[in-house]
Structure 1
């Protein structure tokens, strides 16, 4: 009888240890693909992300059903400015940022939903472990997957009445900022 009670205690304590959200790197570079099925828009981005200084640089290719546009967008939340350079026309708009900086990491109240591995599990160089989380951000549903143990973002789904479903996939991610000058506004933009 004591053995059964001990096994039950171990099982309950193990199940109660739900993994907590990990902390993603505060600076990284890579690529993202963002899909908005409601507006039929695909955006492919070369990304530089700096959470410490609240800065994001995106080189965007926006593909709608009828056109493609190319932009160099610099979000400087640390000073409240956005620079948007149309790479085709060389027209640059400098505007005041009105939206808040949204960190690219799991919120601390994200709920763990499970783990899985991709690739050849017997070869550590050819597989990755993913952790899945979900929750609510400002009343809107999100689901996210990150690598284990480094917590690099892999995918993020966001659903709201305002935006509908937005699906973002991250790839070719490397830690750190290789060239800090990516956060200097383009020369075509007003000072």
Structure 2
């Protein structure tokens, strides 16, 4: 009987451990949506993420200021270049990428806001245990406030709220995430991009893509 009580106490202690800051898997494939509080931007995207080589491939469509858009973007942060790809016409625009790579992770300065269950905790597989973190981070565009939610197990991104003075609130939701790269070749420039010349004007940043 004493052994059973001790086991229950130890189990409760493990479950009560405070969540720790974490880093998402270095290779991810999934989908996301982006929207702003002003409703000027609404977008849906498929993404491939490689934190080891600092590469991101995004294909998106949506609307900005009531104008529709579609992008096929390859961001190579180590090379500081970005490719705008048009597979239909087999053309590429190669531009500078004046943005730092930010890995998917809970920043060091983040504060734990809450640990909750998305869905239901009434039965197995009815809910998802997540941690929500808040804080501020410095970007080249200035200081940004954020609220980021990740899964307790695996540190898979769920959602991020980001606020900057210039753009206000931006909401990013992640879903259908898969650990690993479904299409590894998608993180390399297509063969028809080989001769693309770097366009020095209008350097691109991550926020200017929307």
Task: Please indicate the TM-score interval, normalised by the length of the shorter structure.
Answer: 0.7 to 0.9
User: How many angstroms apart in 2 are the aligned matches of 1:86 and 1:135?
Assistant: 38
State the 1:121 CA deviation: 2.0
Stretches (4+) displaced over 4 A: 86-91
Gaps of 5+ in 2: 1-16, 197-210
User: How many angstroms apart in 2 are the aligned matches of 1:44 and 1:31?
Assistant: 8
What is the TM-score with the length of structure 1 in the denominator?
A: 0.83
For 1:112, the equivalent position in structure 2 comes to 112
For 1:46, the equivalent position in structure 2 comes to 46
User: How many angstroms apart in 2 are the aligned matches of 1:165 and 1:90?
Assistant: 36
The number of residues matched between the two structures is: 178
User: How many angstroms apart in 2 are the aligned matches of 1:161 and 1:94?
Assistant: 29
What is the TM-score with the length of structure 2 in the denominator?
A: 0.76
Three-state SS of the structure 1 residue aligned to 2:176 is strand
Classify 1:162/1:90 alpha carbon distance in 2 versus 1 (closer, same or farther; 3 Å). farther
Structure 1 residue 147 corresponds to structure 2 residue 157 = no
For 1:157, the equivalent position in structure 2 comes to 161
CA root-mean-square deviation: 2.5
For 2:186, the equivalent position in structure 1 comes to 182
Q: Deviations over 1:65-113 (max 9, x none)?
A: 5332211100011211100125676653101211111222211221111
Task: Report which stretch shifted further, 116-125 or 155-164.
Answer: 116-125
